[in-house]
Chain A
Amino acid sequence: QVQLVQSGAEVKKPGASVKVSCKASGYTFTSYGISWVRQAPGQGLEWMGWLSAYNGNTNYAQKLQGRVTMTTDTSTSTAYMELRSLTSDDTAVYYCARRILADASDIWGQGTMVTVSS
């Protein structure tokens, strides 16, 4: 079946970086984009950006420009999201999702909890 499986929970210190992976299966990876969305504890959804698995083009949320990098490895059908210079405000569950028509996301990963704490 179509699914996205993300890497496990991370605990990082302020100022560090985190890299979350998202492995796709059950569909042609390069036919869809991957969106990244995060959700701070008890808060709503926040769009981080998306990338094309076909050509690697990216579109990042303005507030994260310069701190986030999204990449893919088409040989393993895996997408990655790296966030640098972490602060406590980056503590959240990070989701990857398959991007379909009109920027909707129809398949979501299980989420990766990233905790930033000294």
Chain B
Amino acid sequence: SYELTQPPSVSVSPGQTASITCSGDKLGDKYACWYQQKPGQSPVLVIYQDTKRPSGIPERFSGSNSGNTATLTISGTQAMDEADYYCQAWDTNTVVFGGGTKLTVL
């Protein structure tokens, strides 16, 4: 079965750039999306179709996807961005989630 691998945790200082990776076999041939989830809340879509931002998502969130890796980049990270982030892709009629990355803004 298809698997997506994310680092368990990423730390970043306020105002700096955070990069969260998601790895999977030939992931660049599929569409990836990203969700942000804060404690006790439902997930929020922040990137879909590799690079697109839904309405209302700040421009500091961006995405890329090539080869075996999709990347979520948060530029000028703010304290409010501290959350769990999940990547997602579709493979052979199945939606697959990565294990999630806890982003800490120190």
Interface residues of A (CB under 8 A from B): 35, 37, 44-47, 50, 59, 61-62, 95, 97, 100-106, 108-111
Contact = CB atoms under 8 A, between A and B. Distances in A.
B93 A102 contact: no
Contact of B95 (A47, A95, A110): A47
Given A45-B43, A95-B43, A111-B42, A103 B31 contact: yes
A54 to B, nearest CB: 18
Contacts of A110: 42
B45 interface: yes
Contacts of B35: 45, 105
Interface stretch (B19-27, B67-75, B96-104): B96-104
A44 B94 contact: no
Q: Name which of A50, A103, A106, A110 has the most chain B CB atoms within 10 A of its CB.
A: A103
Interface core residue of B33, B42, B45, B88 (most chain A CB under 10 Å): B42
Contacts of A46: 97
Contacts of A106: 45, 48, 54
B93 A108 contact: no
Interface of B: 31, 33, 35, 37, 42-45, 48-49, 54, 86, 88, 90, 93-100
Contact of A47 (B37, B94, B99, B100): B94
B5 to A, nearest CB: 12
Given A45-B100, A102-B31, A102-B33, A108 B94 contact: no
Contacts of B98: 44
A35 B95 contact: yes
Contacts of B37: 45
B42 A108 contact: yes
Contact of B48 (A102, A108, A111): A102
A33 B6 CA distance: 27
